[in-house]
Structure 1
Amino acid sequence: MEINTRELILEILLETDREGRQCQTVIGNVLDKYQFLSKCDRAFITRISEGTIEYRIQLDYIIDCVSDIKVKKMKPVIREILRMSVYQMRYMDSVPDRAAVNEAVKLAQRKGFRNLKSFVNGVLRNISRRVDDIVWPDRSASPARYLSVRYSMPEMLVKQWCGEYGEETCEKILGSFLEHRPLTVRFSRTGHDTEQTIQKLEKQGVRVTKANYAKDAYILENYDYLASLDAFADGDIQVQDPSSMLVAQAAGISAGDFVLDLCAAPGGKSLHAADLLNGTGMVESRDISDYKVGLIQDNIERLGLQNIRTQVKDASRYYQEDEGCADIVLCDVPCSGYGVIGKKPDIKYKASHEKQESLLKLQREILKNAARYTKDGGVLIYSTCTIGKSENIDQVMWFTKHFPFQLESLDPYFDENLHLMTTKEGYLQLLPGCFDCDGFFLARLKKQESL
C-alpha cells in the first residue's frame, strides 16, 4: 500500500492542533498504525511533525512576513501545509526548496483546496527567494520579542525566565529545548545484570553510553522501535530521564521502607524506589484514574517487581487511614511541565498565568496531605518537571513555614558533580542548557519528631 508521508504529517499536525492532544501521543499512534513503513519514512514523519510544532512561532513569523493573509486568518489545512513546508525549507538540507514547494501544492490539491494552489505556491516561492532577507525583531528594542521568535517560545515564558534567571541563562534554556535529545533509560538492578543488559542491547545494534548524574542512567541510540528491543521486553530497562532518577536517590531508601508515591503515573519513580529496596519493603504507587494506574501496572508487570502495588487515589484528597503511614513520601506534583518542553514542545503553547495559579493551589493541597502521611522522622521528596520559582522553591518555603519539616542536604545522595550551594541547603533546580538533562526541581524534607 502506497502511503503519502506528507499527508500523514499533515494529519498529525491538524489533530494535535484541533484536539489539543500531546504531539508525541499523536505521532506514536500514527507510527504504531503504520509499522510497515521504513525506518527512513518513520524518521521523516517524526522529524517534520516535531520540528513544525517546535518552531511554530518562528515559522508563523516568516510566513506573515511574506503573505498578505496572516497565519491566524488561514484555513487550518493551508496553515499547516505552509508551516510544515517552511520547516523543511529552513531546517532540512535533504529536502530541496523546489521539492518542498511542489509537494505542498500537490497536498493542498489532494485535500480539496485546488483554488488555493497558486496561493500556496506563491507564498512558499516568495519565502524561498527572500528567506535570507527576513527582518527579525530588534533584540535591543525588545529582547523578549526577539528571543520568542528566535527560539519559538511564547513571550510570556521568555519574560518570566528572563526575570528569574537573567537573559543569558534564559537563552541557554531556550536553545537547549531545540536540541536533539537522545533516549535515556534506567537499568534495572533487582534480578538484572548491567553488563548482560548492555550486551543484549548491543547485540541488536543499539549504541549504549553512560548518562550523567544518576547511577543507573544510560543513553540509547541507533534503534528503531523501543518495544522491539529484547532488553525492554525483558524488563531490563525503564524509560526515565536522569533528573527523574534523582528523586529515589535523594530519598535515601533503606531496606524494609514503606514508600508512598502520590502522583506516580507512568511509574518511573515508584519502580526505581522498588528496585532500590532490592526485594524488601513495599512501594504503594498511586494516581487519580484507572487509566493512569493501568500504565503503572503495565510497567510493574514488565519489570517483574514484587514489592510494589498500585491504588487509584486522588492525591488532592486526604485519606485518614494513611495518617503517618510512610517512611518516605514521593510528592511529584502536577505542574506546568516547562522543564520537558524539549521532549513535549506543544506544552509551551498551552501556557497561561491562570493555569499556573491553578496549579499552585493544587500543589499545596497535595503537599498538605503528603505532610500528614509522612511518619515522624520520615522523609518527603517534593519534585516537579518545571523551572519556574513559584512552583518550586517558593512552594518549599511556604511548606516549611506551615508544616514541621526541615530541608536536609542532598549532597550525601548525589555525585560530586551535582554538589552545589543549594544542594547543601536541601534542594536542586536543574535548568536545561545548564545541565545535561530535563528541567527539574527536587527538595528533600525531613519531618521533625513529635515532642
Structure 2
Amino acid sequence: MRLHRNLVFAVIDGLSDIFNNDKYADKVVQSLLKRDKRWGARDRGFIAETTYEMVRWRRLYAEIADVKQPFSREDLWRMFAVWAVLRGVKLPDWPQLAKTPSRRIKGKFEELSKIRKFKESIPDWLDALGEKELGRAVWDKEIAALNEQADLVVRTNTLKGTKQDLKKAFKEIEIETDSISGSKEALLLKERSNIFTTELFKNGLFEVQDASSQLVATFADPKPGNKVVDACAGAGGKTLHLAALMENQGQIIALDIYQNKLKELKRRARRAGAHNITPKWIENNKVIKKLHGKADIVLIDAPCSGLGVLKRNPDAKWKLTPEFLDNIKETQEKIISDYSKMVKPGGSLVYATCSILPSENQLQINKFLDSEIGKDFIFVSDRKILAHETGFDGFYMAMLKKNN
C-alpha cells in the first residue's frame, strides 16, 4: 500500500474531530468523503476504513505511541505511525513520520497484547463490567468479535421482490452476495460497495440492516391485519421490516420521542412502498394512554448501551460512561412498564436491545415480570445473540404474552 498525503491528512483531521471535539465517527467520515470530488472509491475506502480502525484501537495505539488525550496533531501522527507499522505499510519520507521507532512499536504491541484491556482497546470499567456480567471466557471471545469490522448486510424488501430477485439484480451490476443462514431476507455483500447510489436502493428494493437486527421483527411474528405498535421506532429499520412481514395489511403505529427520526421514517416508507405505517410523535403521555389495551403486538426496541453494535460504532466505547449505563437501565425499566399497557389481552410484548449485557436484557425482563404490571404477563421465550457465535451484531429479544 502506498500512502497519499492528502488522504492521510484527511484521516488526521477526522481523528482530531472525533477524539478531541467529541464528534461522532460516522458523521465525521461522511463529511471527510465530501472534501475532494476527485477521490475515487479506493481513496474513499482508505479514509473511511483507516479512520474507523484508528477509532477502534484508540487505546492500544495511544499506549504504544505514549500519548494521552487531548491529542495534539503530533500525537495523532504518532498513533497513525503505529497503525502503519503494525499493518506492514511502508512509511513515506514525510517529516511527520520521521524517526518512527518501528522495532519499539512492534515490541510494545507484543507486550500489551497479553493484557485484554489494551489488546481489545477498551476502558478499564467496561472491561471489568463485561467480565462480571458475561464471565471471563465469554467476554474474551465477545469483545474480540466486536472489534472486527462489520460486514455489509442488506434486507430484501419483500414488498417489492424476492431475495433471489435481489441477488440476481445485484449480480447484474457486478455486486456478489451470499445468503445468510437463519435470516430469510438477508444478503451479505462479499465486498464492500457504495450501494446507496444504485437504482436498486433508490427504488426501495432493499434496506441496509444487520443480520441480527433483521431477526427482531421476525421474532415478533406479526400477521397481516394485526395492529402493531413499534414503540421506539426511530428512523424505522424494524418498522419497515414489520410492514413487509404484514404484507402492507393491518396497521403499524410507529412511535418515537424524536420528530426528526419519524420524518426520516416517512421518507424511507415511501421509498419502500410501505403503506400501513402511521408515525406518531410522543409529545406527551396522552399518546400512549390512547393506545392502552389496543395492540396485538407491542415492540419495544429499547434504548440501550449499544454494546452489541461496537463493530459498526466503535466510538461508542469511548462515549459510553457508567453513569449513562445506570440511567439507560432506569429508562428501560420505565419504558417497559409504561408501554406494556398498550398490549391488549392475549397480545404480545416484544422487548429487544442491541446490548449483550444481561443487566439490560434478561434481568430487565425478570424485574418487569416481578412488578405489579408485569403480573399480567407470562414469559414465552427469549433469544440471546452474541457476535462471537454469529459473526454479526449482538442482540437480545424476549416475548411475553398478556393474559386474556
Q: How much does 1:316 deviate?
A: 8.0
Matched with 1:380 is 349
| Secondary structure, aligned partner of 1:437 | coil
| Aligned pairs for 1:96-245 within 5 A | 96=90, 98-99=91-92, 102-103=93-94, 105-106=95-96, 121-122=98-99, 125-126=100-101, 128-134=102-108, 136-137=111-112, 146-245=115-214
The SS at the match of 1:322 is coil
Q: Which among 41, 44, 63 is matched to residue 42 of structure 1?
A: 44
Aligned to 2:216: 247
Tell me the secondary structure at the aligned position of residue 319 of structure 1: helix
Q: CA RMSD in A?
A: 2.1
Q: Does 1:88 align with 2:62?
A: no
Structure 1: which 5+ residue stretches go unaligned? 65-69, 107-119, 140-145, 409-425
State the Cα distance separating 1:165 from its structure 2 match.
2.3
Amino acid at match of 1:61: E
1:269 alignment partner in structure 2: 238
The two structures have a TM-score, normalised by structure 2, of 0.93
Amino acid at match of 1:121: A
Give the letter for the 1:428 counterpart: R
Distance in 1 between the 2:86 and 2:77 partners? Answer: 14
Q: Is the 8 A contact 2:243 2:276 kept in 1?
A: yes
Which TM-score applies when normalising by structure 1? 0.83
Q: SS of the counterpart of 1:4?
A: helix
Output the amino acid matched with 2:46: F
Paired with 2:146 and 2:71, the residues of 1 have a C-alpha distance of 29
Find the counterpart in structure 1 of residue 9 from structure 2. Answer: 7
Q: Which amino acid aligns with 1:50?
A: Y
Cα distance change of structure 1 residues 225 and 138 upon mapping to structure 2, 3 Å threshold: closer
Aligned residue among 20, 39, 43 for 1:18:
20
Q: What is the aligned partner in structure 1 of residue 402 from structure 2?
A: 447
Asked if 1:405 is matched to 2:377, the reply is yes
Q: Does the aligned pair in 2 maintain the 1:316–1:362 contact within 8 Å? A: no
Cα separation, 2, equivalents of 1:316 and 1:427: 29
- Number of residue pairs matched? 397
Q: Which moved more, 1:307-316 or 1:186-195?
A: 307-316
Q: Following superposition, which runs of at least 4 residues in structure 1 exceed 6 angstroms of deviation? A: 315-318
**In structure 1, how many angstroms separate the alpha carbons of the residues matched to 2:204 and 2:36?**
25
Matched position secondary structure for 1:216: strand
Structure 1 residue 202 displacement after superposition: 0.9
Post-superposition Cα deviations, 1:241-277, rounded to whole Å, max 9, x if no partner, equal 1211111111121120011111112211110111011
Provide, for residues 104-156 of structure 1, a one-character-per-residue CA deviation record: whole Å limited to 9, x for no partner. Answer: x35xxxxxxxxxxxxx634xx22x132232262595xxxxxx10101111221
Whether contact under 8 Å (1:205, 1:222) holds in the other structure is no
Name the counterpart of 2:258: 289
Alpha-carbon distance, 1:213 to partner: 2.3
Larger radius of gyration: 1
Q: CA distance change for structure 1 residues 372 and 45 in 2, over 3 Å: closer, same or farther?
A: same
Relative to 1, partners in 2 of residues 1:315 and 1:221: Cα closer, same or farther, differing over 3 Å? farther
Bigger shift: residues 219-228 or 387-396: 219-228
Percent of residue pairs identical: 26
Change (3 A) 1:335 1:37: same
User: Against the structure 1 CA distance between its residues 33 and 292, is the aligned structure 2 distance closer, same or farther, given a 3 Å change threshold?
Assistant: farther
- 1:29 to partner: Cα distance: 2.7
Residue 390 of structure 1: how far off its partner (Å): 0.9
The residue aligned with 1:67 is: none
Match of 1:421 in 2: none
- Amino acid corresponding to residue 133 of structure 1 in structure 2: G
> Residues 299 and 3 (structure 1 numbering): CA distance in 2 closer, same or farther, change over 3 Å?
farther
SS at match of 1:224: coil
Separation of aligned partners in 2, 1:25 and 1:315: 30
**Structure 2 residue aligned with 1:77:** 73
Deviation larger for 351-360 or 189-198: 189-198
Displacement after TM superposition at 1:444 (Å): 0.6
Change (3 A) 1:33 1:137: closer
- The answer to whether the 8 A contact 1:274-1:283 is kept is yes
* Cα offsets for 1:162-221 (capped at 9, x unmatched): 222222221111221222322111101123233322221111111110123221111123
Shift of 1:22: 2.1
For 1:435, which of 373, 386, 390 is the aligned residue?
390
Residues of 2 paired with 1:315 and 1:57: CA distance?
Answer: 42
Provide the C-alpha distance between the structure 2 equivalents of 1:221 and 1:33, rounded to a whole number of angstroms.
28
The range that moved more, 158-167 or 393-402, is 158-167
